[in-house]
């Protein structure tokens, strides 16, 4: 997708962040399509906090890397996160020294800079913060926007790329009437205040061009009752989790619209089934569909326990509905699909058809170099047969 002329380049945004100035970052229109003011946390000043409070009006948060949050003993705010987009809030804090109530622009700027140790120039310890407070740290996912296409990860990525401490200060931009400001209003807002405007999709595309977070470690034939597929084993360079791609045909010879099924691993459903029938699993149904194509891919992503699909934290599903909890493209999980998208791109795919019955929303997918040209559905008979959480 070609961005409007109002969008700055990622290189321009990184230079601006390095200079200690904020930018506006907008996410995908199929997610929130909201904009945040974003800057490097170690360069925050009281003047910037006052500007954010007066012009943005949202909640001022500080995205940070997990290791730093652990050093400061800042645990997650809640053990079971039910927020729509799984934004990883920690306990809120105020810096205890040289501050008063914690809410003034000066106090909040001191707290934000203290979280970074003033860019690592002084020793700040867990006991230096009062809890709760007026600043809300956020735990960014390892891998940044290539793993999760959110403002949290974008802020940490931009700060790191600018040579700053890998932590950001972000705040949602709200209209005068209290509604969230969307892209049509963000463009004149950025222009009015002299701020560069960039998109998370462009940031993903930039990082994808310059970095790689998956590596194919092995390829071998894979025999199935529906014919021979080629197994590609990928390892995440972020957390060493291994994922499987079963490929039908030579993808280099494939035309546009290759059929793809993205399946989030679940030990209970994939190994044991739902115990309510003798039908086939969603994985087998997908393999059958893909094997019937000239070209196709079943992408089996492991390490999804954090999404409520694994053995330890499996959600109990309603067996009478046909929601596909194994479809990683379902609902808000798409934005955590960066690893899978990189695998598909590495396999040579650019234009794909998704095998799903869900009206899924796709998060910043064009930033990964992929285009969804269509969706294929499981048949009603396959839905009835499936032994997982329903065939989509």
Task: Tell whether 2 is covered by a domain.
Answer: no
Instruction: Supply the mean pLDDT for the chain.
Output: 85
Does 316 score more than 60 pLDDT? no
Contact 303, 339 (CB under 8 A): no
Instruction: Name the domain count of the chain.
Output: 2
pLDDT of residue 133: 98
Task: Tell whether 186 is covered by a domain.
Answer: yes
271/25 Cα distance (integer angstroms): 42
Q: How confident is the model at residue 92 (pLDDT cuts 50, 70, 90)?
A: very high
pLDDT of residue 87: 86
Do 65 and 203 fall into the same domain?
yes
Least confident of 75-89, 101-115, 307-321, 372-386: 307-321
Does 391 score more than 60 pLDDT? no
Least confident of 77-81, 259-263, 328-332: 328-332
Task: Tell whether 4 is covered by a domain.
Answer: no
Q: Which two tokens stand for residue 46?
A: 């009281």
Task: Tell whether 172 is covered by a domain.
Answer: yes
Does 245 score more than 90 pLDDT? yes
Do 142 and 281 fall into the same domain?
no
Query: Which residues participate in catalysis according to the annotation?
Result: 333, 335
Do 120 and 255 fall into the same domain?
no
Task: Tell whether 95 is covered by a domain.
Answer: yes
DSSP 8-class letter at 292: T
pLDDT of residue 337: 64
The CATH number given to whatever domain includes residue 337 is: 3.40.50.10990
Per-residue pLDDT, averaged over 267-273, amounts to 67
pLDDT of residue 317: 40
Do 160 and 254 fall into the same domain?
no
- The per-residue DSSP string of 45-103 comes to -HHHHHHIIIIIBS--EEEE-HHHHHHTT--BS-SS--STT---BB--EEE-SS-SSS-
Do 219 and 349 fall into the same domain?
yes
Does 132 score more than 70 pLDDT? yes
Per-residue pLDDT, averaged over 365-387, amounts to 75
Do 192 and 334 fall into the same domain?
no
Do 18 and 44 fall into the same domain?
yes
pLDDT in tens, 338-358: 788 889 999 999 999 999 876
Do 264 and 139 fall into the same domain?
no
Q: Which two tokens stand for residue 138?
A: 């956020």
pLDDT of residue 315: 43
Q: How confident is the model at residue 313 (pLDDT cuts 50, 70, 90)?
A: very low
Task: Tell whether 190 is covered by a domain.
Answer: yes
Burial code (b: 16+ CB inside 10 Å, e: under 16) for 156-181 equals bbbbbbbebbbbbbbbbbbeeeeeeb
Do 235 and 203 fall into the same domain?
no
Q: How confident is the model at residue 214 (pLDDT cuts 50, 70, 90)?
A: very high
CA distances from 277 to 141, 283, 387 (A): 38, 16, 7
Domain residues for 84?
10-209
pLDDT of residue 386: 64
Does 384 score more than 80 pLDDT? no
DSSP 8-class letter at 255: -
Do 85 and 121 fall into the same domain?
yes
Q: Which of 193, 209, 225 is the last residue of a domain?
A: 209
Do 254 and 266 fall into the same domain?
yes
Question: In 3D, which of 61, 130, 138, 136 has the Cα closest to residue 100?
Answer: 130
pLDDT higher for 390 or 368?
368
Q: Which of 191, 209, 227 is the last residue of a domain?
A: 209
Do 349 and 257 fall into the same domain?
yes
Task: Tell whether 392 is covered by a domain.
Answer: no
Task: Tell whether 176 is covered by a domain.
Answer: yes
pLDDT in tens, 216-234: 999 999 999 999 999 999 9
Does 81 score more than 90 pLDDT? no
Contact 272, 228 (CB under 8 A): no
Least confident of 179-193, 251-265, 293-307: 293-307
The CATH number given to whatever domain includes residue 44 is: 3.90.870.10
Q: How confident is the model at residue 31 (pLDDT cuts 50, 70, 90)?
A: low
pLDDT higher for 283 or 28?
283
Does 328 score more than 90 pLDDT? no
Q: Which of 161, 190, 209 is the last residue of a domain?
A: 209
Question: In 3D, which of 40, 260, 23 has the Cα closest to residue 159?
Answer: 40
Least confident of 113-127, 131-145, 326-340: 326-340
């Amino acid at each position: 997708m070609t961005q409007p002329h109002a969008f700055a380049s990622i290189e321009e945004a990184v230079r601006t962040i390095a200079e200690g100035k904020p930018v506006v970052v907008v996410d995908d229109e199929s997610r929130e399509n909201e904009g945040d003011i974003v800057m490097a946390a170690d360069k925050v000043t009281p003047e910037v906090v006052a500007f954010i409070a007066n012009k943005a009006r949202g909640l001022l948060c500080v995205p940070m890397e997990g290791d730093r949050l652990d050093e400061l003993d800042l645990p997650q705010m809640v053990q079971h996160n039910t927020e729509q987009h799984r934004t990883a809030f920690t306990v809120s804090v105020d810096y205890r020294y040289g501050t008063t109530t914690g809410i003034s622009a000066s106090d909040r700027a001191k707290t934000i800079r203290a979280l970074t140790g003033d860019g690592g120039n002084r020793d700040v310890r867990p006991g230096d913060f009062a809890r709760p407070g007026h600043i809300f740290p956020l735990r960014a996912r390892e891998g940044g926007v290539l793993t999760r296409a959110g403002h949290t990860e974008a802020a940490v990525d931009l700060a790191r790329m600018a040579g700053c401490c890998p932590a950001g200060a972000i705040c949602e931009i709200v209209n005068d009437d209290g509604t969230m400001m969307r892209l049509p209003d963000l463009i004149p807002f950025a222009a009015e205040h002299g701020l560069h405007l960039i998109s998370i999709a462009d940031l993903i595309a930039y990082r994808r061009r310059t970095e790689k977070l998956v590596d194919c470690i092995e390829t071998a034939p894979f025999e199935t009752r529906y014919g021979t597929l080629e197994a590609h084993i990928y390892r995440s360079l972020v957390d060493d989790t291994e994922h499987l791609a079963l490929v039908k045909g030579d993808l280099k010879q494939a035309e546009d619209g290759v059929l793809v099924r993205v399946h989030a691993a679940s030990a209970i459903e994939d190994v044991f089934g739902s115990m309510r029938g003798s039908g086939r699993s969603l994985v087998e149904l997908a393999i059958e569909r893909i094997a019937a194509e000239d070209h196709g891919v079943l992408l089996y992503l492991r390490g999804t326990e954090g999404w409520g699909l694994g053995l330890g934290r499996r959600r109990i599903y309603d067996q009478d509905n046909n929601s596909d909890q194994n479809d990683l493209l379902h609902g808000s999980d798409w934005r955590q699909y960066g690893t899978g998208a990189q695998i598909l791109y590495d396999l040579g795919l650019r234009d794909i058809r998704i095998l799903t019955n869900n009206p899924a929303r796709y998060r910043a997918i064009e930033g990964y170099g992929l285009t969804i040209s269509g969706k294929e559905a499981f048949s009603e008979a396959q839905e009835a047969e499936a032994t997982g959480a329903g065939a989509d």
